[in-house]
Amino acid sequence: MFGFRFSVRSAATLLIAVFVLSAVTSLEAQSTSPRRRRETNANRRARIERTIQDTYSHKWEVAGGGGYLRFRSGENLQKNNEVTFFLSSTYFLNPKFGILGQVSGAYGHGKVGNTIYNIQNPQISQYYFNVGPAYRFYKKEKYAATVFGTVGAGIGKFDSGSKGIPAANLGLWDSQTRTVFSAGVNLDYNMYPNLALRVTPTYLGSTWGSTIQNNVGVNMGVVYRFGRIK
């Protein structure tokens, strides 16, 4: 009998000890779980800040791609669609302010309609060389937005597809070099700190014919970043 009571008492004591130990362990886990979550969130925030710093401390951005432009090729002509290309480089003085230079071109067909020369919609092209300031007003881990304004020269070739007929005879602008200016917003999606995809809604003002043509379009391309701001 004594041995039986001892066994029951021992088993009860063991069960109580196991219960107490489980309760203590559960309380410790509950008390440390929020701390672990806080540490995890803190580590995540620190990682994002490091990525942002790494992304926007690059000194140079080089971008290239193509797009689309609605362009008025003559004073009394309808606007025509043009295929564009661009190559740009931005030198950043700090993570927000930079100087942008861009070379771009556009190709299309002027909508001259029916003429006595029996030439419909001859091919035309323009080439632009612009420079100006850029301001990055939004910068996050995955997204960035930079506004820019540039001015430069535009080379218009409006008689390259007219079979020797002067462009003015077809209602097109004269082929010459004129002042151009542009503005736009570079919208970037960062795949890596040094590599991004870019979409740029663009306004282009040209001055052929001693008037101002308001042309709008969009470019898409790839951005590569390198170098470090000291």
**Model pLDDT, residue 13:** 56
Percent of residues, the chain, with pLDDT higher than 70:
83
User: Which residues 6+ apart lie within 8 Å of 130 measured at CB?
Assistant: 101, 102, 104, 150, 151, 152, 180, 181, 182
| 145 has pLDDT over 50 | yes
For residue 87, how many other CB atoms are within 10 A of its CB?
14
Closest CA to 179 of 212, 217, 214, 147: 212
pLDDT band at 164 (very low <50, low <70, confident <90, very high): confident
CA distance 143 to 134: 16
For residue 7, how many other CB atoms are within 10 A of its CB?
10
pLDDT band at 41 (very low <50, low <70, confident <90, very high): confident
| 7 has pLDDT over 70 | no
pTM of the entire structure? 0.80
Angle (CA) 34-36-38 rounded to 5° is: 70
Q: Which residue has the higher pLDDT, 60 or 6?
A: 60
| 84 has pLDDT over 90 | yes
pLDDT band at 22 (very low <50, low <70, confident <90, very high): low
pLDDT tens digit string along 85-128?
Answer: 999 999 999 999 999 999 999 999 999 988 888 888 999 999 99
Residue 112 burial by Cβ neighbours in a 10 Å radius (0-12, 13-18, 19+)? buried
Closest CA to 156 of 203, 213, 101, 197: 213
Going from N- to C-terminal start, the domains of the chain cover 1-56, 60-226
Average pLDDT, the chain: 87
**Model pLDDT, residue 24:** 46
Q: Which residues pair with 84 in a beta bridge?
A: 67, 106
Structure tokens at 95: 């993570």
Percent of residues, the chain, with pLDDT higher than 90:
73
Q: Could you tell me the CA-to-CA distances from 18 to 7, 13, 28, 29 in Å, in that order?
A: 16, 9, 15, 16
pLDDT tens digit string along 47-56?
Answer: 899 999 999 9
pLDDT band at 10 (very low <50, low <70, confident <90, very high): low
Q: Following CA atoms 207, 212, 218, 222 in sequence, which dihedral angle do they give, to the nearest 10 degrees?
A: 30
**Model pLDDT, residue 230:** 84
Closest CA to 171 of 94, 47, 73, 89: 73
User: Under CATH, to which class is 60-226 assigned?
Assistant: mainly beta
pLDDT band at 75 (very low <50, low <70, confident <90, very high): very high
CA distance 55 to 43: 18
Helix, strand, coil proportions of the chain in percent (round to 5)? 25, 50, 25
